[in-house]
Amino acid sequence: MRLVFATNDLTLLGRSFEGFPLLIGADGCPVEPAHSFLWHVLVESAESFSTLTWEAYGRRLFDYFAFLEANQLTWNDETPAHGLSVLSKYRDWSIGELTLDPRTVNNRLALVIRFYRWAKRHNLIAVLPFGEKLVKAVPHSGLLSHVAAPGAKNTKISVIVREHKRPTKFLTKAQVKECLALETDPSYQILFHLMVRTGIRSCEARSFPLKYVFNPKFAKGLREGQMISVALDPRDMHIKYDRPRIIDIPWSLMKNMWSYTLHHGAPARGADGGARRWSLLRFCLWRLRGGRCRF
């Protein structure tokens, strides 16, 4: 079995589905009903237009079906005991032999569980390969505890692995100072400052649009030292889940980014705004390569 991703040759009614995950069996044919499920989730339901999400869904489903193929198991095996189902075997293999993190395993299981529920709704299987039961939800003790529904219940799925809450990892002040003390090119420094001082992800910093950068000295209503609100638009840059949001950029950082574009040879802007559509990273690479790079 192989996992490949469609090129722009995969078109339907004039729309390209480049990046769509394709599970190809040993016979060279699409693996069904996995393909139909992926098409339903990613295209018909329009759950996500991000090719990164498409890739993640494809890899998770491929991992499961490749496991079944390698162990000569069938996806629709109706073993009466849930603890002996093919899904339970996949979970035990992932946790035991591969020693994967429980969160990783549960992320993969979540998609496979959706696949089986979809298959049951379409009468492809008679029973689900896992058990379900209603359990009392943990009482909410936060600020909005007074509006929480009393006696609320959640559905617990038998194959899901217990996860232990882990503290979120952040860079320490000492680590940040160590990075800032390194003598490196200003191009790398400006990107590091953008991530550390605004909290945006690496992929977001790498695609941060040059048109978002301006001189705060001449902006009305702004004064030195204040935070500048900048609206991030997925049409301009890569944002996780394609959700627009607003970030706060320190006045000094905006000034430094603007100065960087001026004093390090910004590319000429055409009549149509040319370089304004560049990302900050693209400009940094252009400068590092002596302004001779073609994109």
Report the pLDDT value the prediction gives residue 268, as an integer from 0 to 100. 47
Domain that holds residue 16: 2-121
Are residues 181 and 98 located together in one domain of the fold? no
Model pLDDT, residue 83: 76
Q: How many domains does the chain have?
A: 2
Note whether residue 273 is domain-resident. Answer: yes
- Helix then strand then coil, % of the chain, to nearest 5: 45, 15, 45
**Exposure string for 102-123, b = 16+ CB within 10 A, e = fewer:** beebbebbebbbebbeebeeee
In terms of domains, do 87 and 179 share one? no
**One domain, residues 15 and 114:** yes
235-245 pLDDT, tens digit each: 999 888 788 99
Judge if 279 and 178 occupy the same domain.
Answer: yes
Query: What's the per-residue H, E or C state across 194-218?
Result: HHHHHCCCHHHHHCCEHHHCCCHHH
Q: Is the dihedral of CA 130, 136, 142, 146 positive or negative?
A: positive
Tens digit of pLDDT for each residue in 148-202? 566 666 778 889 999 888 888 888 999 999 988 888 888 888 999 999 999 999 8
At residue 138, the pLDDT reads 65
| Per-residue pLDDT tens digits for 273-284 | 444 555 666 666
Residue 149: inside a domain, yes or no? Answer: no
Is the residue at 25 inside a domain?
Answer: yes
Q: Around Cβ 268, how many Cβ atoms within 10 Å? A: 6
Which pair of tokens denotes residue 189?
Answer: 């420094």
Residue 277 lies in a domain: yes
How high is the pLDDT of residue 146?
Answer: 56
Residue 295 domain flag: no
Which of 81, 101, 121 terminates a domain? The answer is 121
Over residues 234-261, the mean pLDDT reads 92
Q: Does 84 or 82 have the greater pLDDT score?
A: 84
User: In terms of domains, do 113 and 216 share one?
Assistant: no
Q: In terms of domains, do 183 and 117 share one?
A: no
